[in-house]
C-alpha cells in the first residue's frame, strides 16, 4: 500500500534539521520514520507520519517547502536472503528503485523497508503477485 | 604619490606616431575624424543622428566638433544586432569577434583585413613599450575565441617577431610545464590568472620565482597596484597593464610603457574623452570620469563616442618615455552593473535571463562574487520553491546542473549554483540589489 511521504528542503548548516522537527513537536506530531539525504550544500528530509496533511500544513505555515510523494512499505522476511528474494522479484519485473531506507517497527520488532518507485502501483502489483507483504497504513501508525 | 624610478626596461618606441608633437598628432586626429565621419555616414544609426544634427564630414572643423557627434552605447549595438554598424559590404569582413551583451546574445564586432593589421600594430606597440623583443617567447594563457584577448595579443606578438605559444586557458599544471619546457620569458593572461599560476606552481613543488618568466602583460579585468606587487613578488617578474574593449578594437587601446605610470592611449587611432556619466560634460584631467572612445582608423565598424562605462582618470603630463599621448589610470569602476569575472564580462541581467529559462527559479535569487584564492568565483543562489522541490536527490542535482548549464550558455561562465531555503534570500522593496561583490574586501 502506498504511504504519503513528506520531503522538506534543508540547507546544510547547523540547526537546519532541528528547526522543522521542533515545529512538528510543538504541534504534537509524532514521526513514523525519518530519513535524510544530503549533499555538501543541501539536504532533503523525508518523513512518514500519520497526520501527514496536518504536518504538511504546520510546516508550510512555518515557511518550509514541503513536497508529498508516495512510498511503498514492505515487510521483509527476517532471515538471510529475505531482502535478496524481494529485490530479485523487482529486478525480474524491470522495476527501478529510486531510493530506499529502513526503519524498525516497534510493535512487532520488524524491519520495514520504505521504497520509492517511479511507478508504485506497478511495484505493489508485482510484489503482491510474488506473495511479498506490502504493509498497510494501519499497521504502521 | 608617484615616485619617479628609472625604467626597469628600455624606453623602446615602435612607431614614430607614438611620439608626434601634440600639434601634429592633433592635426592627424582631425583629418582622421573627418574621414571616419564620412565612413560611417551611411550606417543607419549615424545617418539618422547626423541628419538631426546637421553633421557632415565638412562640418567637422576642429577636434572640438567631436562634441557634436552622437554617443554610441552597448544598447545601440544590441538594437542593431548582429552587424548593423558595419560600414563595408559583408564580403569585406575578415573576422568577427564578440563580447557579452546585457542579454544572452553577444555583441558582435567586425574587422576588415586592414583592421586586423591595425589591431596587431596597436598590440605590438604596447608589447614593445613593455619590453617585448623578437627574441622572446610569449606564453599566451588568454582564451582564444569570440573574446578579443587571445587573438589580439597573439597577432601583436607575431607582429613584433617574437614566438607565441597559444596555450589558451585551462589546465594550469600543464601550462606551467609548458612555460618551463619552452622557456617562455613573457606571460600574457589576466592578472588573477598570473597569481593562479604562481599558486599552482607552489602546489607542484616548483618555486614560481624560478620559472623562466621575466615579465608579463596583463589585462581583460580590473586590478590593483597591490595585485601588481603580489604578481611581481610571487613570480619575480615585471607586470605591465594594458586596456582595451572589443567595441573599440580589443586589447591595444592603451598600455603601459617602461615607466608604468598610466597606460598610453593610442591617440593616433582613438580619440578619448573622460566625461561625467550624468552630465556628459568633460571632467578635468586627474578627475574620475567615464571613458568614451571614438575609433579614428577602423574600417569595418568604427564607433563614434562609444561609452565604455569604465571609470578612470586621464593625465596629459609628459611621460619620460617620450610618448606624447595622453595616459589613463587603471579602471577604478563601472557606471553600470557589469561584473568582470575571470576576465569574462557578465551582466546580472544575463543571470536573470538564464534563470528565467528554468521555471520557478525567479524572482528570488542572489549573485555573489568572491575571490577565495586567486580566482574569481561566481555563486548564484536560488530559493527552492515548492514546484522545484523533489524528494529525489538526482532530480535536485539535475536542477542545479540545469541552472548552471543555462548560466554557462547565456553568460559564458561557470557558476556555483546553491539552492537556498525559501525566504532566506534578501527581499527588496525598492530597486533590487541582487549582486554582492566581495572581491577586494580582504
Task: Report yes or no on B403 lying in a domain.
Answer: yes
Contacts of A64 in chain B (CB under 8 A): 421-422
Question: Looking at the predicted structure, is the pLDDT value of residue B222 above 90?
Answer: no
Count the residues in chain B.
Answer: 442
User: pLDDT-derived band of residue B9, with 50, 70 and 90 as boundaries?
Assistant: confident
Are both A125 and A63 inside the same structural domain? no
CATH code for the domain of A105: 3.30.2130.10
The answer to whether residues A8 and A45 touch, using CB atoms and an 8 Å cutoff, is yes
Are both A74 and A136 inside the same structural domain? yes
In A, minimum Cα distance to B416 occurs at A41
Q: How close does chain B come to A40, measured CA to CA in Å?
A: 10
Are both B351 and B409 inside the same structural domain? yes
Are both B388 and B242 inside the same structural domain? no
Last residue of a domain, one of B336, B359, B387: B336
Are both B273 and B220 inside the same structural domain? yes
Kindly state whether B91 is in contact with chain A, defined as any CB-CB distance less than 8 angstroms: no
Are both A50 and A88 inside the same structural domain? no
Task: Report yes or no on B6 lying in a domain.
Answer: no
Task: Report yes or no on B3 lying in a domain.
Answer: no
Are both A82 and A103 inside the same structural domain? yes
Among candidates A16, A44, A63 on the partner chain, residue whose Cβ is nearest the Cβ of B391: A44
Last residue of a domain, one of A52, A69, A86: A69
* Alpha-carbon span A71 to A119, nearest angstrom: 10
Contacts of B382 in chain A (CB under 8 A): none
Are both B213 and B311 inside the same structural domain? yes
Average confidence (pLDDT) over B121-139: 97
Number of domains in chain B: 2
CA B148 from centre of chain? 8
Which of the residues B421, B422, B423, B424 would you substitute to probe the A interface, choosing the one with the greatest number of A C-beta atoms within 10 Å? B421
Contact residues, chain A to chain B, C-beta under 8 Å: 5, 7, 9-11, 16, 37, 39, 41-42, 44, 46, 63-67, 69, 98-99, 116
Number of domains in chain A: 2
Q: Which residues, other chains included, contact B268 with Cβ-Cβ below 8 Å and sequence gap of 6+?
A: B17, B18, B20, B25, B28, B29, B32, B296, B297, B325
Q: Could B389 and A66 be called an inter-chain contact, meaning their C-beta atoms sit closer than 8 Å?
A: yes
Last residue of a domain, one of B316, B336, B356: B336
Task: Report yes or no on B43 lying in a domain.
Answer: yes
Among candidates B386, B419, B424 on the partner chain, residue whose Cβ is nearest the Cβ of A41: B419
Contacts of A40 in chain B (CB under 8 A): none
CA B164 from centre of chain? 21
Are both B385 and B278 inside the same structural domain? no
pLDDT at B109: 97
Are both A63 and A85 inside the same structural domain? no
User: pLDDT-derived band of residue A108, with 50, 70 and 90 as boundaries?
Assistant: low
Question: Looking at the predicted structure, is the pLDDT value of residue B4 above 90?
Answer: no
Question: Looking at the predicted structure, is the pLDDT value of residue B120 above 70?
Answer: yes
Are both B349 and B400 inside the same structural domain? yes
pLDDT at B103: 72
Q: Could A9 and B424 be called an inter-chain contact, meaning their C-beta atoms sit closer than 8 Å?
A: no
Are both B304 and B275 inside the same structural domain? yes
Which of the residues B379, B391, B397, B403 would you substitute to probe the A interface, choosing the one with the greatest number of A C-beta atoms within 10 Å? B391
Average confidence (pLDDT) over A37-44: 91
Are both A78 and A136 inside the same structural domain? yes
User: pLDDT-derived band of residue B106, with 50, 70 and 90 as boundaries?
Assistant: confident
Among candidates A65, A69, A116 on the partner chain, residue whose Cβ is nearest the Cβ of B384: A65
Kindly state whether B386 is in contact with chain A, defined as any CB-CB distance less than 8 angstroms: yes
In A, minimum Cα distance to B395 occurs at A98
Are both B93 and B173 inside the same structural domain? yes
Average confidence (pLDDT) over B216-235: 93
DSSP state of B65: G
Q: Between these two residues, B185 and B7, which has the higher pLDDT value?
A: B185
pLDDT digit string (tens) for B58-85? 999 999 999 999 999 999 999 999 999 9
Task: Report yes or no on B223 lying in a domain.
Answer: yes
Go through B13-32 and write b for each residue having 16 or more CB atoms within 10 A of its CB, e for each that does not.
Answer: bbeebbebeeeebeebbbeb
Average pLDDT for chain B? 93
User: pLDDT-derived band of residue B1, with 50, 70 and 90 as boundaries?
Assistant: very low
Q: Provide the domain limits for residue A133.
A: 70-140
CATH code for the domain of B374: 3.30.300.30
Task: Report yes or no on B41 lying in a domain.
Answer: yes
pLDDT at B5: 62
User: pLDDT-derived band of residue A78, with 50, 70 and 90 as boundaries?
Assistant: confident
Q: Could B389 and A64 be called an inter-chain contact, meaning their C-beta atoms sit closer than 8 Å?
A: no
Task: Report yes or no on B175 lying in a domain.
Answer: yes
The answer to whether residues B136 and B162 touch, using CB atoms and an 8 Å cutoff, is yes
Residue from B9, B103, B19, B29 nearest B325 by CA = B19
Last residue of a domain, one of A16, A45, A69: A69
Q: Could B393 and A64 be called an inter-chain contact, meaning their C-beta atoms sit closer than 8 Å?
A: no
- Three-state secondary structure string covering chain A: CEEEEEEEEEECCCCCCHHHHHHHHHCCCCEEEEEEEECCCEEEEEEEECCHHHHHHHHHHCCCCEEEEEEEEEECCCCCCHHHHHHHHHHHCCCCEEEEEEEEECCCCEEEEEEEECCHHHHHHHHHHCCCCECCHHHHC
Are both A82 and A44 inside the same structural domain? no
Beta bridge partners of B1: none
Q: Between these two residues, B88 and B440, which has the higher pLDDT value?
A: B88
Q: How close does chain B come to A45, measured CA to CA in Å?
A: 8
User: pLDDT-derived band of residue A76, with 50, 70 and 90 as boundaries?
Assistant: confident
pLDDT at B254: 98
Are both B209 and B119 inside the same structural domain? yes
Q: Is B327 helix (H, G, I), strand (E, B) or coil?
A: strand
Are both B217 and B184 inside the same structural domain? yes
Among candidates A39, A46, A63 on the partner chain, residue whose Cβ is nearest the Cβ of B391: A46
Kindly state whether B390 is in contact with chain A, defined as any CB-CB distance less than 8 angstroms: yes
Last residue of a domain, one of B336, B360, B375: B336
Q: Provide the domain limits for residue B305.
A: 16-336
Q: Could B419 and A9 be called an inter-chain contact, meaning their C-beta atoms sit closer than 8 Å?
A: yes
Are both A37 and A77 inside the same structural domain? no
Are both A29 and A50 inside the same structural domain? yes
Q: What are B237's three cell numbers?
A: 617578474
Are both A63 and A22 inside the same structural domain? yes
Are both B60 and B135 inside the same structural domain? yes
Contacts of B385 in chain A (CB under 8 A): 65
Last residue of a domain, one of A49, A69, A89: A69
Task: Report yes or no on B2 lying in a domain.
Answer: no
Kindly state whether B393 is in contact with chain A, defined as any CB-CB distance less than 8 angstroms: yes
Contacts of A63 in chain B (CB under 8 A): 422-423
CATH code for the domain of B195: 3.40.50.12780
pLDDT > 90: percent of chain A: 62
Average confidence (pLDDT) over B364-388: 90
Among candidates B389, B393, B394 on the partner chain, residue whose Cβ is nearest the Cβ of A65: B389
Among candidates B392, B396, B418 on the partner chain, residue whose Cβ is nearest the Cβ of A99: B392
- Read off the pTM: 0.83
pLDDT digit string (tens) for B26-45? 999 999 999 999 999 999 99
Residue from A60, A74, A52, A65 nearest A130 by CA = A74
pLDDT at B259: 95
Are both B144 and B287 inside the same structural domain? yes
Kindly state whether B401 is in contact with chain A, defined as any CB-CB distance less than 8 angstroms: no
Q: Report the phi/psi class of residue A123: left, alpha or beta, with left for phi > 0 and alpha for psi in -120 to 50.
A: alpha
Residue from B321, B419, B405 nearest B366 by CA = B419
Does an H or E element contain B207, and which? none
The answer to whether residues A85 and B360 touch, using CB atoms and an 8 Å cutoff, is no
Contacts of B420 in chain A (CB under 8 A): 11
Q: Could A65 and B419 be called an inter-chain contact, meaning their C-beta atoms sit closer than 8 Å?
A: no
Are both A45 and A89 inside the same structural domain? no
Q: How close does chain A come to B207, measured CA to CA in Å?
A: 34
Q: How close does chain A come to B365, measured CA to CA in Å?
A: 15
Are both A47 and A86 inside the same structural domain? no
pLDDT digit string (tens) for B197-209? 999 999 999 999 9
Amino acid at each position: 500500500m502506498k504511504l504519503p511521504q513528506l520531503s522538506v528542503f534543508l540547507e546544510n548548516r547547523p540547526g537546519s534539521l532541528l528547526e522543522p522537527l521542533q515545529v512538528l513537536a510543538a504541534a504534537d506530531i509524532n514521526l513514523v520514520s525519518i530519513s535524510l539525504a544530503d549533499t555538501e550544500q543541501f539536504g532533503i528530509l523525508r518523513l512518514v507520519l500519520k497526520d501527514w496533511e496536518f504536518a504538511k500544513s504546520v510546516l508550510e505555515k512555518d515557511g518550509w517547502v514541503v513536497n508529498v510523494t508516495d512510498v511503498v512499505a514492505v515487510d521483509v522476511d527476517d532471515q538471510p536472503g529475505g531482502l535478496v528474494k524481494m529485490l530479485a522479484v523487482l529486478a525480474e519485473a524491470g522495476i527501478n528503485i529510486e531510493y530506499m531506507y529502513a526503519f524498525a517497527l516497534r510493535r512487532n520488532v520488524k524491519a520495514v523497508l520504505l521504497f520509492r518507485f517511479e511507478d508504485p502501483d506497478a511495484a505493489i502489483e508485482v510484489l503482491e503477485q510474488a506473495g511479498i507483504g506490502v504493509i498497510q497504513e494501519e499497521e504502521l501508525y | 604619490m608617484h615616485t619617479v624610478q628609472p625604467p626597469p626596461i628600455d624606453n623602446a618606441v615602435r612607431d614614430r606616431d607614438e611620439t608626434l608633437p601634440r600639434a601634429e598628432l592633433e592635426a592627424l586626429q582631425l583629418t582622421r575624424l573627418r574621414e571616419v565621419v564620412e565612413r560611417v555616414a551611411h550606417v543607419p544609426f549615424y545617418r539618422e543622428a547626423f541628419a538631426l544634427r546637421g553633421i557632415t564630414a565638412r562640418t567637422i572643423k576642429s577636434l572640438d566638433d567631436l562634441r557634436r557627434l552622437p554617443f554610441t552605447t552597448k544598447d545601440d549595438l544590441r538594437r542593431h544586432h548582429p552587424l548593423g554598424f558595419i560600414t563595408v559590404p559583408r564580403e569585406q569582413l575578415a573576422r568577427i569577434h564578440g563580447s557579452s551583451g546585457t542579454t544572452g546574445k553577444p555583441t558582435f564586432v567586425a574587422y576588415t583585413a586592414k583592421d586586423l593589421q591595425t589591431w596587431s600594430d596597436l598590440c605590438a606597440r604596447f608589447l614593445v613599450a613593455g619590453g617585448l623583443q623578437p627574441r622572446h617567447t610569449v606564453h599566451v594563457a588568454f582564451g582564444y575565441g569570440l573574446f578579443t584577448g587571445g587573438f589580439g595579443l597573439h597577432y601583436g606578438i607575431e607582429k613584433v617577431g617574437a614566438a607565441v605559444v597559444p596555450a589558451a586557458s585551462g589546465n594550469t599544471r600543464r601550462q606551467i610545464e609548458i612555460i618551463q619546457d619552452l622557456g617562455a620569458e613573457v606571460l600574457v593572461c589576466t592578472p588573477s590568472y598570473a597569481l593562479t599560476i604562481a599558486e599552482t606552481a607552489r602546489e607542484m613543488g616548483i618555486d614560481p620565482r624560478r620559472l623562466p618568466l621575466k615579465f608579463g602583460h596583463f589585462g581583460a579585468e580590473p586590478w590593483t597596484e597591490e595585485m601588481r606587487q603580489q604578481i611581481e613578488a610571487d613570480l619575480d617578474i615585471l607586470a605591465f597593464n594594458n586596456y582595451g574593449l572589443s567595441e573599440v578594437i580589443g586589447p591595444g587601446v592603451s598600455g603601459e610603457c617602461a615607466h608604468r605610470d598610466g597606460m598610453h592611449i593610442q591617440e593616433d587611432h582613438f580619440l578619448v574623452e573622460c566625461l561625467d556619466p550624468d552630465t556628459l560634460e568633460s571632467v578635468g584631467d586627474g578627475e574620475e570620469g567615464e571613458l568614451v572612445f571614438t575609433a579614428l582608423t577602423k574600417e569595418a565598424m568604427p564607433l563614434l563616442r562609444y561609452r565604455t562605462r569604465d571609470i578612470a582618470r586621464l593625465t596629459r603630463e609628459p611621460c619620460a618615455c617620450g610618448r606624447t599621448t595622453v595616459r589613463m589610470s587603471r579602471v577604478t569602476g563601472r557606471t553600470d552593473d557589469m561584473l568582470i569575472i575571470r576576465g569574462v564580462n557578465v551582466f546580472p541581467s544575463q543571470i536573470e535571463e538564464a534563470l528565467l529559462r528554468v521555471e520557478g527559479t525567479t524572482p528570488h535569487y542572489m549573485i555573489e562574487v568572491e575571490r577565495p584564492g586567486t580566482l574569481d568565483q561566481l555563486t548564484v543562489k536560488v530559493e527552492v520553491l515548492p514546484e522545484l522541490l523533489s524528494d529525489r536527490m538526482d532530480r535536485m542535482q539535475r536542477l542545479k546542473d540545469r541552472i548552471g548549464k543555462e548560466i554557462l550558455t547565456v553568460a559564458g561562465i561557470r557558476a556555483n549554483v546553491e539552492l537556498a531555503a525559501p525566504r532566506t534570500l534578501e527581499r527588496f522593496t525598492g530597486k533590487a540589489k541582487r549582486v554582492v561583490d566581495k572581491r577586494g574586501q580582504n
